[in-house]
Amino acid sequence: MNKIKYSNDTNSDIYKDSIKIREIVFVEEQNVPKSIEIDDDKVNCTYFTLYSDEKPVATARFQVTSDNGIHIQRVAVLKDYRQKHLGSFLLKYIFKYAQEHNFNYVILGAQDHAQAFYKKLGFKVIGQQYREAGIFHHDMRLNLL
């Protein structure tokens, strides 16, 4: 059974589980330096972790933007749980949360290889390609209104 929990507390188990997933996906698999992955913005974020049978398997976080949107970051799903629609399940949960809290839109920096995934969820590419942690990205936006 899948359950999603969220927290703003960097001392919570939800946050700690999120970090474990991100270290496996970004630091170990994608060779993102840990110093970049675990950043100073951590205290300004709300963390979401998806648990499958009590095991933390997917995560994302967001920060509130200055113009009433949310900026989703650090979307990660453990390798053995990919292709099971858990990433879209988690993001749709976050979209619902954002709508319930009257946010207007969602923005994120998508790794280029993941653009098709985000487009299926309704995101549109905005802006030019850029490189972050050695990986090509594009910003993408989804209007919630």
Tell me what pLDDT residue 42 has.
Answer: 73
Which DSSP helix (H) or strand (E) runs through 99? helix 86-100
Q: What percent of the chain has pLDDT over 70?
A: 100
In the chain, count H helices and then E strands.
Answer: 4, 7
Q: What confidence tens digit (pLDDT) does each residue in 11-45 have?
A: 999 999 999 999 999 999 999 988 888 877 777 89
Q: Could you give the dihedral angle defined by the CA atoms of residues 2, 142, 99 and 101, in that order, rounded to the nearest 10 degrees? A: 100
Cα dist. 47→28, 29, 34, 74, 120 in Å? Answer: 21, 21, 18, 10, 23
Q: What percent of the chain has pLDDT over 90?
A: 88
| 119 Cα distance to chain centroid | 15
Q: What confidence tens digit (pLDDT) does each residue in 80-113 have?
A: 999 999 999 999 999 999 999 999 999 999 999 9
Tell me what pLDDT residue 37 has.
Answer: 84
| pLDDT tier, 62 (very low <50, low <70, confident <90, very high otherwise) | very high
Q: Which domains, from first to last, does the chain contain?
A: 2-107 (3.40.630.30)
> Whole-number mean pLDDT of the chain?
95
**Mean of pLDDT values over 49-65:** 97
Q: Is 9 helix (H, G, I), strand (E, B) or coil?
A: coil
In angstroms and rounded to an integer, the radius of gyration of the C-alpha atoms of the chain is 14
